[in-house]
Structures are given as C-alpha cells and as structure tokens.
Amino acid sequence: MEDTEPGKAHAPAEPGKADPAAQPGTGPAAERKTGPAAEPETGPAAADGDQPEPGPPAPDDESRTGGAGGATKKKKRLRRTRRIALTVLLVLLVPLLTAEAALRVTYMGDPADGTYTRNRDAIWLGHAWVDGRKTDADLAAFARRVRTTGIRDLYVHTGPMEHDGTLPKSLYPGAHWLIDAVHRQLPGVRVQAYLGDVLATESPDGMRLERAATRAAVVDSARQVLDVGYDGVHLDLEPLHSGDRNYLSLLDDVRAVTRARDAQLSVAAHQIDPLPGFHSFWGTVAGHPKWWSQAFFGQVARRVDQVAVMSYDTMQPLESLYGGYVAQQTALALEATPPTTHLLMGLPFYHENRFGHWNHAETVAAAVRGVRLGLSRTDADRERFGVAAYIDFAATEEDWTSYRDGWVR
C-alpha cells in the first residue's frame, strides 16, 4: 500500500562600490606625507615659528585596502540573509503549526452514540493465503478471530499483476481452497482478489495506464480471477495521481465486468487533500503528490462498489494529531462518497518507524477514535460504512483488541 511515503531565498546583490575619491587613502590628498613618521617642513616659514598645516590623519591598512568597508558589507549581507531565512521559516512553519493545532482540536470531544461497526468491515490479507503456505488450521484460527467482528470482506493479495496488466495463474494455486473454505466456515464473508502493481507515474518502471492495451489486460485479469470463484476484484494501483482519466476509464471497464457477474469492485484509495490543492503543492516540492483532490475522490467513489481509504502513512508525529487527521479524512471522504457506495477507512495493523509512519503515533486506537469522530460530525447514520485493517500478517494482539474495544463493542 501506499502504502500509501515535501524554497530557496536568493542572497542580496552586493552593493555597488563607492567612488574611489571618497575613500580614505586614495586621491590627491593621499600624496601628502602625514603621520608620526613625517618630518616637519623646513624653511623660512618654519624659522618664523609657523607650524606646518596638519594634514588628514593617516589611513590605516584596512582603510587603504577597503577592509573596513568590506567587513561592513559582509555584516549587512549576513543580517539580510538571516532575515530572509527567518521569513521563509515563518512562512513555512506558521501554516504547518496552525494546521497541526487544528488537527489536535479535531481530535477533541466525544463520538456520538451508535458510531460503531455496521458489520461492513474488511481486512487486507497477505499472499500466503493463496500461494500454498496457509493450511486448514490457519484458516480455522483466523475464522475464530473474525467471526465475532464486523469483518465481511477479505481483500486477498492475489497479484501482483505484470506491468502489462496480465496476471500469471501460477501466483494463486490455493485460491480455490481459500474461497471454498471461507464460504464454508464464514458464511456471508466475501473473498475479493486484491490485484495491485506499481504505476510508472514517478519512475520509468511500472504499469502505464495511458496504454489502452494495458487497461484491456487489467480487465481480462479481473475476468480471470472471477472465473476462479472470487466474489470481487480489489484494485490497488500506486502511486496514482489525482485527476488520472485513464484510471477512471479503467474503473468503468472493470465495473462492467463485475456487474455482469454480480461481483464487487473495490479500490484502495489515496488520502484526500487536507487543504484544497495540497496535492499540487506537495507534488511540486516533493515530486510525489500523494493526495487526491476531493472532487477526484468522488469521481472514483461513484464508479465502484467499495472505496477503502489508505488512512495511514500520514507523517503525523503524535497520536492525537494522527487521530485528528483520520477524523478529518473521514469527514472529507463521507462528503465525497455517495450513500450507494460502501466507504471504508483504513486502520494501521502494522508497525514501522520512518518519516511517513511513526509507530507510536499511528495506532489503531487513535484511528478508530478518529473514524468515530469524523462519522459523528458528518453522517453518523451512514449505513454503508466501515473500517479496513491493513494487514493480517503484521497485526498484534493489541491491534485486534483496539479494533474490538473501540469499534466492535
């Protein structure tokens, strides 16, 4: 998943050099001998007791070389550079601190009563479930764990697809076993084929959705997994930039296939701009837009049966800020998702420490509370709503407990 992992001030121009005639130690006056080593003039005037007219004070070495003036210019440049740097820092920090403070406020308050599972939750499962590594005992243990939760959809990693959109059948030899066993042990739970790949949007390697042949191959891959018996197709293509018309076209074509088979089409969705147009700004400074506009999110949501927001890897450093961020994302997603589409918010059932994901901050407990707050303030009675846990093989007992205590009840 994306996973789902952000200027420069010019130094002031050097002031122009002053007129040499105005500098000490230069010009005609400098030709006169002055200073302690100069001998007094002699001649009649001196004999009469007249004193020689004192000349200008002798310039020191710095004055002769312009050192004092140069040092002053350097100090001025340094002060100006510091002022510019401070201004740039304030321009960047003030909005950031303001936004973080707003997230902290968003995390305050109490969720509304009844904002718990609607029994429409999901979980992403690793590839081991279809490549032969998992056994009947593994499935029995998994069934015992989820039977009393709200989980009704399993997104089982069945790919990845090749960059040309094809899907080797050798990748999922255990798919029939898993589908049959789940339907037998967990009635009402759907098994969807999780198909993903890296897009060539930020590197030369990857799937290219602008190629019609590639999109057609992805549609064929969807038919292929439905023929196996999967209850749906779950697409996760990253990094997917906001406004990608080729992606929308692909969703239209795949949904025509899933509808004809009475199957589900679900997608893993990027987060929504926390500020309008933020994906454009982030793309400019970091080369990775990351977010989608709310309008594009809505366009995607209207084309699928389920949209699961990857509401983790948020760069938030504190649990309260992460929870506030999830509350904000939940509200933005609810506003953009039609009530006929099933919306799910992601829960981080994995543990990493890096810039984009701080394990101490991105907790399941904070995410669940954030989801409930966003739901409470936006559409507390939304029926087609749930949470989606990523991912089974990295989950801890604490993750499962936080999900149950905070959301399932």
pLDDT in tens, the chain (409 residues): 544 443 333 333 333 334 433 333 334 333 333 333 433 444 434 444 455 555 555 554 444 445 567 788 888 888 888 878 777 665 555 565 567 778 778 899 999 999 999 999 999 999 999 999 999 999 999 999 999 999 999 999 999 999 999 999 999 999 999 999 999 999 999 999 999 999 999 999 999 999 999 999 999 999 999 999 999 999 999 999 999 999 999 999 999 999 999 999 999 999 999 987 766 765 667 678 889 999 999 999 999 999 999 999 999 999 999 999 999 999 999 999 999 999 999 999 999 999 999 999 999 999 999 999 999 999 999 999 999 999 999 999 999 999 999 999 8
Q: What share of the chain is helix, strand, coil (3-state, %, to 5)?
A: 45, 15, 40
Element (H, E) at 268: strand 264-269
CB 139 within 8 A of CB 178: yes
For residue 213, which phi and psi values (nearest 5 degrees)? -65, -35
Please provide residue 154's backbone torsions phi and psi, each rounded to the nearest 5 degrees: -115, 120
**pLDDT attached to residue 108:** 95
pLDDT of residue 84: 81
Residue 72: per-residue pLDDT: 83
Cis peptide, bond prior to residue 391, ω within 30 of zero: yes
pLDDT at residue number 275: 86
Yes or no: say if 239 and 278 are a contact pair by the CB < 8 Å rule: no
Residue 347, number of CB atoms within 10 A of its CB? 30
Start-to-end C-alpha separation, the chain:
28
| Helix 319-336 / helix 67-106 crossing angle, nearest 10 deg | 70
21-27: Cβ within 8 A, 24+ apart: 23/63, 23/66, 23/69, 24/56, 24/59, 24/63, 24/64, 25/59, 25/63, 25/64
For 301, the enclosing helix (H) or strand (E) is helix 294-301
Question: Residue 276, Cβ neighbours under 10 Å: how many?
Answer: 10
